[in-house]
């Protein structure tokens, strides 16, 4: 892999660090149950990456960067998410990496919301990556920052390695032709709007929404043996999306986030308008 040219706009890097720091403070404070403060400083050496998350940004900011946790930090992040206190020399397992990456993903989602308020439309996608010998991997170009979270005990630290961050030129965006929608055909399902009188009659109906983290087929005898402390393993990995169900039908998938101390779902993929209307029709 060829190194990426170091085309990082300093103000964008500082803005990204600021918002990820604020997001880390908010998310980790909710998870830990105590107030934590995060701040970004220059990092001289990259951490030995054990948990590694790559972020791709498109829109108001374009480029890539990585969030890196070494072995001790991965254990502490996983411990926060799972409500456990890992031993200092505990072995880092795949479950540890997945739990730490999940918590980093929640921080990224919170940071993306903050960046949109400051810079405008922005898409941020996170993708777990295999750990490498150092935090930067093969992409040597870029700048590093260390985000340190303090309060409520021993400090945590995230390595942020910005590979390329640029602001798209407004002139280039204006030169792009605007996308036009094709005229509707006779067999096209109408969009979900209030233009249809039949749909207007349904818009005030309350529907029950539920999240499905996974499923499991169990024997009756195993169900009868369930007690406090039992663990039921589901058929879904930690990094896989959670399903949003309306009237028993999946209409969207997303990732679990924390909003003001409550669980929430950040939508990543949503069903077509026709499928949403079908859920309403079944609920009448």
Which CATH number do you get for residue 220? 2.30.330.10
Q: What pLDDT sits at residue 255?
A: 87
Q: What pLDDT sits at residue 256?
A: 85
pTM of the model: 0.60
Do 36 and 120 fall into the same domain?
A: yes
Please give the residue range of the domain that contains residue 258: 197-283
Q: What pLDDT sits at residue 109?
A: 86
Number of domains composing the chain: 2
Report the alpha-carbon distance of residue 90 to residue 52 in Å, rounded. Answer: 19
Do 149 and 273 fall into the same domain?
A: no
Q: What pLDDT sits at residue 238?
A: 79
Do 136 and 257 fall into the same domain?
A: no
Do 162 and 253 fall into the same domain?
A: no
pLDDT under 70 in the chain at which residues? 1-7, 86-88, 132-141, 152-154, 169-205, 271-284
pLDDT tens, position by position, 156-197: 888 888 888 888 864 444 444 544 434 444 333 333 343 444
Q: What pLDDT sits at residue 205?
A: 67
Q: What pLDDT sits at residue 250?
A: 83
């Amino acid at each position: 892999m060829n190194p990426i040219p170091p085309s990082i706009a300093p103000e964008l890097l500082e803005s990204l660090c600021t918002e990820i720091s604020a997001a880390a403070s908010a998310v980790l404070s909710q998870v830990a149950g105590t107030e934590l403060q995060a701040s970004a400083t220059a990092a001289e050496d990259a951490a030995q990456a054990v948990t590694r998350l790559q972020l791709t940004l498109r829109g108001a900011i374009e480029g890539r960067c990585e969030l890196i946790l070494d072995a001790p930090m991965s254990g502490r992040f996983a411990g926060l998410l799972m409500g456990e206190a890992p031993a200092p020399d505990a072995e880092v397992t795949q479950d540890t990496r997945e739990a730490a990456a999940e918590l980093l993903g929640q921080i990224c989602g919170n940071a993306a919301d903050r960046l949109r308020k400051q810079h405008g439309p922005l898409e941020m996608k996170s993708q777990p990556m295999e750990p490498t010998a150092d935090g930067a991997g093969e992409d040597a170009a870029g700048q590093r920052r260390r985000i340190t979270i303090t309060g409520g005990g021993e400090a945590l630290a995230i390595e942020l390695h910005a590979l390329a961050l640029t602001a798209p030129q407004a002139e280039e965006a204006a030169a792009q032709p605007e996308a036009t929608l094709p005229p509707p055909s006779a067999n096209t399902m109408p969009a979900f709007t209030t233009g249809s009188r039949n749909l207007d009659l349904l818009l005030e109906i309350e529907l029950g929404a539920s999240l499905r983290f996974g499923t499991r087929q169990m024997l009756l005898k195993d169900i009868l043996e369930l007690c406090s402390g039992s663990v039921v393993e589901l058929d879904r990995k930690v990094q896989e999306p959670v399903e949003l169900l309306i009237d028993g039908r999946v209409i969207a998938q997303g990732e679990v986030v924390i909003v003001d101390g409550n669980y929430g779902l950040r939508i990543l993929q949503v069903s077509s308008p026709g499928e949403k209307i079908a859920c309403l029709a079944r609920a009448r």
